[in-house]
Amino acid sequence: MSQVLSVPPGRRELTKVQNRQAILEAARSVFGELGYDAVTVRDIIRRTGLAAGTFYNYFRSKDEVAAALSDDGTRRFAPILKAQREQASDWADFVRRALGAYYTFLADEQSNWLARRPIDESHPRVHGVTPEGLAVFEEVRASIVEEAARGGAQGGDPYMLAAACIGIARYVGEQMLVRRPVDTQAATDFAVTMILTGVTGLRRSTN
């Protein structure tokens, strides 16, 4: 009578983690080399060395892989943002600290994925709300509400203001990454001025 060998549960779970990580690392590499739009699931699978069926055990498309990469970065940035908030002396200080940390994070963490793409290609944009994204939004929103109560960020709905801050930060960051050299300080200065003073402030800063 033949004996059926089974993989111990602990080893099985470890293999799942390793396979998923291999897929994410392969995707990060090919996104950086070919650009998001040009990459196919086949490109990702080929880089991992795994079977196609294994890939589809974890992800249904390259969009889901990109979303997982985005979530991973946001999850790791959330505590950095929280620390900047705790150290800030006021609203303006928080804005500068948070943006400076964010742009440094982008430059360091995504240099092998986004920053090496051809300059005329668009960034991968994965739409949808994730728990990690909500955590970052809530941290910014809570900071805005707290500072507004102290008179620092007046004149608007805190949720709308938080959304505007995040939008400015994101799109300025995208432009920062496609320029050479990548200038985190210039990106920080521009975004801080836009958030704190708007277009009027930008006109003053260039005169």
pLDDT > 90: percent of the chain: 18
Burial of 199 (0-12, 13-18, 19+ CB in 10 A): exposed
Kindly indicate the confidence band of residue 165, based on its pLDDT and cuts at 50, 70 and 90. Answer: confident
Kindly indicate the confidence band of residue 12, based on its pLDDT and cuts at 50, 70 and 90. Answer: low
Q: How far is CA 108 from the centre of its chain?
A: 12
Residue 181: asked if its preceding bond is cis (omega within 30°), the reply is: yes
* Cα separation values, 7 from 11, 16, 51, 53, 193, Å: 7, 12, 19, 19, 57
Residue carrying the six token digits 């300025």:
172
Supply the pLDDT for residue 14: 60
CA 167 – CA 124 distance, rounded (Å): 15
| Whether residue 200 has pLDDT greater than 80 | no
| Whether residue 97 has pLDDT greater than 90 | yes
CA 131 – CA 115 distance, rounded (Å): 26
Q: Which fold has domain 66-206?
A: Tetracycline Repressor; domain 2 (1.10.357)
Q: Which fold has domain 7-60?
A: Arc Repressor Mutant, subunit A (1.10.10)
Query: pLDDT digit string (tens) for 119-145?
Result: 444 444 433 455 656 677 777 788 888
The residue extents of the domains of the chain are 7-60, 66-206
| 79-83, 91-95, 122-126: least confident range | 122-126
| Whether residue 34 has pLDDT greater than 50 | yes
CA 161 – CA 154 distance, rounded (Å): 10
CA 205 – CA 199 distance, rounded (Å): 10
CA 96 – CA 75 distance, rounded (Å): 21
Query: pLDDT digit string (tens) for 172-193?
Result: 988 887 788 889 999 999 999 9
Supply the pLDDT for residue 23: 92
CA 36 – CA 40 distance, rounded (Å): 9
Over range 87-94, report the average pLDDT: 88
Kindly indicate the confidence band of residue 55, based on its pLDDT and cuts at 50, 70 and 90. Answer: very high
